[in-house]
Structures are given as C-alpha cells and as structure tokens.
Chain A
Amino acid sequence: MYGYHGKILRINLKTQEVKVETLDLDTAKKFIGGRGLGTKFMMDEVDPKVDALSPENKLMVVTGPLTGTATPTGGRYMVVTKSPLTGTIASSNSGGFWGAELKFCGYDMIILEDKSEEPIYLNIVDDKIEFKSAKHLWGKLVGEVTDELQEAHGAKARVMTIGPAGENLSLLAAIMNEKDRAAGRSGVGAVMGSKNLKAIVVKGSNKVGIHDPEALKAVFKDSLKKIRENGVTGEGLPTYGTAVLVNIINENGAYPVNNFQESYDPEADKISGESMKEDYLVRKNPCYRCPIACGRWVEVDGKQMAGPEYETLWAFGSDCGIRDLKEVLLANDWCNELGLDTISAGTTLAAAMELRELDLVKAEEIEGQPLEFGNVNAIVEWTKKMAYREGFGDKLAEGSYRLCDMYGRPDLSMSVKKQELPAYDPRGIQGQGLQYATSNRGGCHVRGYLISPEILGLPEKIDKNALDGKAFWAKAFQDLTASIDSAGLCLFTSFALGADDYAALINAVCGTDHTGDTIFAAGERIWNIEKMFNLESGVAPSEDKLPRRLLEDAIPDGPSKGQVHQLDKLLPEYYELRGWTKGGIPTDERLAELGLK
C-alpha cells in the first residue's frame, strides 16, 4: 500500500464503538485525499441539510497521501464537516505535526460520529484507541490542555484540541494543534465542541509506504531546489513570514481599513512584517518537514508565543483601526489559547465597531471597553468575551453576518456566505473578488490565491484591475488548490511548484500516473462535489456574491481610489468555463464528465 494505509478509523462518540474500515483505493485516488476525500464521504454519509451542530453532522479528519512522507511540507491534514457558520461544506486545513502523527498511527482518516454524553478526549496510539474523560480539561485553554495531555501521554504525543470558544459553540471556533496551528476557518471547532470532544492525542509508529523511493528522492530534490531558488519561498516567507504582505497590499491600495470603509492605511507600517521582525521576532516556527518555515515565534514583554499571520495583523490591526503591534500580537495569542479563528474574530470586532459608530449598537449594550475603531484596549478584552459568550460577546460569537443582521444591517458584514473576508479588498484586485464570491466555503483567500498572479506576479504578472482572463485564472487556481489541499501539502509550495511537480510527487509516493492535467481535473472534480454539497444543503447559487459595499461604494482614497468590484462582468464567464448553467449550477453533463454522476 503506497501513500495510503487503506484504513479508516470510524468512531462513534456516543456508543464508543470503534471500527477500522478499509478505504477503497480507487475512490481515494479519484479524490486524492484530504479535502477531496473528506467531502466525498460527507456527501455519501451526511444529509447536507443536517444542523451542523447536531449529532447527525460528522467530523472527518483526513490526511492526504503525502501526509507523513518526506515530501516538502507533507504534514497537513484537513477537517471536513458541515460548517455551522456558513451552512456550506467546511474544510479547514492545518499544518504543524499532528497530521503526520495521525498518519503514523496507521490511518488515512478518522470519521467521528454522533455525540459523547460527557466531555471526553481520545488517545490514539497505533491500534489502541482510548476514550478518556475530559471533565478536568473542559474550560481550559489550548496551551494548558496540550501541556497536560503531553504530560499524561508523553512528550512525543501530538495534541489537537479545542479551546473555550469551541466548547461554547462560537461559530468562529477553530481546532488547534501544537498549541498554535489551526484548522481555523468555518467554525469547525464548534462542531468538535458540539460532540463533547475536547481533544485527540495521537502517537504512532507506522511508516507510510512509498511506491518508488528512488524516484521520490529525485523529485524531492528537484522540488526542494525550486522552493529554495524561488524568491518568495526561498527568501521572502522565511525572512518575514506572511506578515510582509501588510505593506505590499497596502501600497497597492487594497488593504481594508475600519471594516472596509477605506482601503489604504498611511500608518500600516507600524504593524507590518518589517516592524515585527525588527521589534518582536525571536525565530522561525516551521511545520513538519517544511523548508519554507513561514511560521513566526515572537517575544512580548518576556513571554514567548507564536506570531501572527498577515491576515491576523490586519484583522485585529487596521480593520479595527488599530496600529499597536503589541496588542495585536496579544490578541493573536489569545485566539490561539481560546481556539478562535483570527480572521473571523478580528473582522467581527470590526463589524461591531461600525455598528457602534452608527449608533446601531448602543453604548449601554457594551459592558467594558468601548468597541470603537482605534481603541487598543478593546481587542483582547472582547476576544475573550467572544469566546466565553460573555455579555455582548454572546452576539459576537455568532460571527459578523448574524451580528449585523441582528441590527438590521447584514450588508455591514464583510462576508461571503456568512464567512468573513480576509485582508484583501477586491475592489483593488478584481480576480480575487471573483474568487471570494465563488468560494465554496465562503469568504476565503486560500481557495484560489489570485494575489499570487495579480499582486506578486507568480507564476506571471497579470493586471490586478483588468477583467480579461480573470475567470480563467480563478478557476485554474481553485482547481489546483483543491488538489494541493487534498494531497496533504502546504499551499505555499505553489509559489514555486506547478501542477507537473505535484503530479510527480504524488506518482512517486502512490504509484499513480498523474500528469499536470489530471491534477487540475481532480481539483475540478473536488470543486464540483463541494458545490453539489452546498446546493443540496440549501446554499443558493445566488450566494456567489460580494457585500454591497464592495460593489457599489467606491474606495474613497489611496491608490485604488474610485474603484468598485465588477462581479457582474466576471461571473458569467466563470460559470461558462466551469460548464455550469448561467445560474451557477453544475450541469448533469459536466458532472458526468467529472465522474460525479
């Protein structure tokens, strides 16, 4: 067995029944693994209409065929479930070391069913599966839980856990591993919390079978060379992490400020990657077998902690009108401890600040620090209250869309399909806006990172303001990303590697005969099955849209002054390229071609 172990661990949390099932390898290869395979199982086993926080929803934790191998960045896993935030398919990816360790236990995926009556955690050591009481862990922070579980099960055990946000069913809750790596988006932590499952500890001793070790050595060497020689993966990300984007996106005039009311921040440099490196950086913080090492490790007032990503710096920074790097670093640390998605948490605060600015939220509703743009003392306090659903925090825990809807202004939520948009204003980057609107998990930049060609010029520079060709790029990036996510690799490899490289890596490990074309085709299959899940769950095709502000209100100042997003000009071509109807629905013919009917 190569790449895959061919084993699924099916765990019923209510009855505590454990089954080891055989993974059908043809299905596995068709959907590659991770995101694709998890969605296929969701489609087959879960009614898409199910309430995401009910016992009927399932939580799939899925590795890819390259997870746990010597391929560069091959340590990733996906959490696939129905999202309580968006109602769409959720597939949240995480790095660190946990995914590889799960693979070493001898399984390709875990399917978690039903709901435990009491808080529990799972301890998995190869074929030994233990259900343990988590009463003593319930309510504890991620760092504490991780330390306690490593003390109980050995320093080499890897811990994935939810924090208080997941326990309290915040729709913005993440699942954390190694304390600071997150399957962050779409509220997957709340699904875990709804099942009374606090943590999963893994420690394994199985190797992943490699079809052609010699070929893998050669492809590995080749990809490593490309990664090292590429400016972004060999130099930029290792030196500054993703935080370097603060200045890049700001200088392009696509850096949202105060809940997307503006899109250029003259003071952005105060919270930039350059400033973080200068004042707080201690070292890099890489994931399993990663030659890029974009992760940051910082020190604040003598305490060391994981540093933030670009999106986090922005969400708690300029989007909340804040330019105090120290407070943003602390807010990031609290999100890790509480198990919150930093993007959605920060931007939900920004939305609340705008509701307050308009006096829709009244001062008397806010017990504590005023929720006002620029109030540095507000972000940590309200992040905590959001996780504990304390006072007004109870409303924040529902995410920006539901929050703004409560005050009659859902249009003030800068979200797509109820998931908050990340740190790129699509009015200044047209392709990225199309990608946001059509993303199968709602507002998201990593479903097709068009920033790469539109801003960074990789693999080639295209005009950020042009409309021509953007539908093609959006589809191509979405399809390729679906395959990378499913293989178990980090998306950041794609700055240096192309579809042919991924095909070669997968072939060497699995003995498949992928080409660049079949990698794109597999990604397209995955994209379409995700869309089918969403349609069946009741997310209408008309949800492929952007917030009104981005379509109608021109950017008031800065380099992109005067621009709006022109989604209506891009969507028809996109649907046509996908072979979908004009209304955005996959045709039976297209689904048949993709082997989905």
Chain B
Amino acid sequence: MIKIEVRLFATFRNGRGKKVFVEMDQPTVEDVLQSINITNEEVAILLVNGQDGHFDQVLIEGDYLSIFPPVGGG
C-alpha cells in the first residue's frame, strides 16, 4: 500500500476539501481519481509531481497529483 496525496483545486474542492490522501496498492492515476469520485473527463489539467501526467500512469510512493477542472486564462 502506498499513500498518494491529491491536491484539489477550483470546483474539485467542493465537498472534498483542498487535499485528500488515498491509500492503494500500485494504483494508476485513474484508480486514485475513481476512488474520490472524479472521472477522467472531468479533469482538464493533470499533473504528477508538477509535470504533465497520464491517467494510466502507475504511481509510486511519494508521488502527488494536482488536478484542475477546465479553468484558466490570464
């Protein structure tokens, strides 16, 4: 089992807070998101350790996710 930190932003915070920790065995990004009821389609920006991530990426101890719904523009 590893513990993955998920940083949530914008509307993903509704009902979940700013940050959640998910404990799973060899999870992919998709597994982690499913466990907190977020579908791939809802995610517009996905970062693993601050770099562009993929839904099928297998996570290892120490990885953290940052996820955003469609937002942005400056």
Q: Which residues of A contact B (CB under 8 A)?
A: 230-233, 235-237, 239-240, 242, 244-245, 247-248, 251-253, 264, 269, 273-274, 294, 309-311, 422-423, 445, 449, 451-452, 455-457, 461, 463-465, 492, 495, 558-560
Contact = CB atoms under 8 A, between A and B. Distances in A.
B1 interface: no
13 contacts: A231-B69, A231-B70, A244-B72, A247-B9, A247-B68, A248-B68, A248-B71, A274-B10, A309-B74, A452-B73, A455-B45, A457-B45, A461-B52
Interface of B: 7, 9-11, 13, 18, 44-45, 47, 49-52, 66, 68-74
Closest 6 CB pairs of A and B: A231-B70, A559-B50, A236-B71, A251-B66, A310-B74, A456-B72
Contact of A274 (B13, B45, B50, B72): B13
Contacts of A464: 52
B21 to A, nearest CB: 17
B10 A240 contact: yes
A166 B9 CA distance: 39
A461 B54 CA distance: 12
Contacts of A455: 45, 72
From DSSP, what is the main secondary structure of chain A's interface residues?
A: helix
Contacts of B7: 251
A577 B33 CA distance: 42
Nearest to B66: A251
Chain A CB within 10 Å, residue with most, of B13, B47, B50, B69? B50
Given A248-B45, A251-B50, A461-B52, A233 B73 contact: yes
Nearest to B50: A559
B52 A251 contact: no
A462 to B, nearest CB: 9
A558 B50 contact: yes
Given A248-B9, A269-B18, A457-B44, A423 B74 contact: yes
Contact of B69 (A236, A251, A252, A445): A236
Given A237-B73, A310-B74, A445-B74, 5 more contacts: A237-B72, A422-B74, A452-B73, A464-B52, A559-B50
B73 A235 contact: no
